[in-house]
Copies of this chain bind each other. A is one copy, B any other.
Amino acid sequence: MDRHSLKFTLESISKDILSGDRRSLARALSIVEDGGPEASWLVRKLFPHSGRAHLIGVTGSPGVGKSTLVDALIVEILKAKLRVGVLCIDPTSPFTGGAILGDRIRMQGHTLDKNVFIRSMANRGHAGGTALATYDAVRMLEAAGFDVIIIETVGVGQSELAIAQTADTTVLVLMPGSGDDIQAIKSGIMEIGDVFVVNKGDLPGAQKTATEVMQSLELSKNESGWHAPVDVTNAETNEGVEKVWTDIQKHRQWLEKTGNLKARRRAKSEAELAELVAEIARTNLHQSLEHSKQVQDLVSELVDHKVDPHSAAERVIQTIFTS
């Protein structure tokens, strides 16, 4: 496809997204997943239509029932007459997400509901890239008019934290007896939670786990002034999920009232900018590796141990940003 006709296609996609066309939205999401100039074009075009949705991150260790909780939350959000988009991101397991997700959608019967859009995100091969793709995918969903966007990640590692940071409100899901997770809260690693959920509340020890989480939260200083609620749910039966949705909305109201929403979005913009410049540097280097004899020779010196990697990186950075 030549440059002109590709632009024409992107023009139609962006126009159709704004009028709520689901197929164009799906195509746009594939484009931003892949990254590159087409993705940048779409983001530039649709950026003015983004920034208004409430972004909710849902994260937690595998097996705590995040997907079931998200399904139950979708029902609450639809009851509130809001449109909800869901991005499911599993950077540690790029191959299973799609299939499992397909089953979920069919099970829940949401596929044909125009107020719900669920999408599994493939990864770009490295964690920073996945966070970047998430920022842009959120923008596509916002342009398509979704009021609430849920970003569901698997696990609580550093990749997941970077992705959770793209949300306004982060829901951290645990289950009874999640000793490691409570340890993580104590050590400050899980301070990212704005709303805590102890799911599988029918299992023994649910209330004890909730109490432990509350105690851990009291230990770790919370400078923002927000007192994170700890809810007990049984997502399978919808028990307690309404309370979670109420708490999520309270957090959003608190963010707006206190000016924390703007502060948080500024921090997010800085994090995104850092990842974007890192990505540009990486891309420029890969191009130089293909085209620049000078850079290829430098790699040879590196392989032969004639130059160390840190010195090589400083030398190459001059080349790739001046050529």
* Chain A interface (Cβ < 8 Å from any Cβ of B): 40, 43-44, 47-48, 50-51, 91-96, 123, 125-128, 130, 135, 155-160, 162, 180, 183-184, 187, 189, 262, 265-266, 269-270, 272-282, 284-286, 289, 299-300, 302-303, 305, 308-314, 316-317, 320-321
Contact = CB atoms under 8 A, between A and B. Distances in A.
- What are the nearest 4 A-B pairs in CB distance? A92-B157, A276-B313, A281-B281, A278-B278
Copies of chain A in the complex: 2
B310 A95 contact: no
A310 B278 contact: no
Nearest to A124: B158
A93 B282 contact: no
Nearest to A187: B95
Given A158-B123, A317-B277, A270 B289 contact: yes
Contacts of A282: 274-275, 277-278
Given A158-B125, A159-B159, A273-B302, A313 B96 contact: no
A273 B313 contact: yes
The binding surface of chain A is classed by DSSP as helix
Contacts of A189: 94-95
Contacts of A187: 95
Contacts of A155: 92
A312 B273 contact: yes
Given A93-B157, A276-B313, A277-B284, 10 more contacts: A43-B308, A43-B309, A47-B308, A91-B157, A92-B160, A94-B157, A266-B299, A277-B282, A277-B285, A281-B281
Nearest to A277: B281
A282 B317 CA distance: 12
A158 B91 contact: yes
A43 B310 contact: yes
Contact of A313 (B280, B303, B321): B280
Contacts of A309: 43, 47, 135, 269, 272-273, 276
A162 B126 contact: yes
A262 B265 CA distance: 46
A106 B58 CA distance: 38
Contact of A303 (B50, B262, B311): B262
Contacts of A302: 269, 273
Nearest to A313: B276
Contacts of A275: 282
B308 A269 contact: no
Contact of A285 (B44, B273, B308): B273
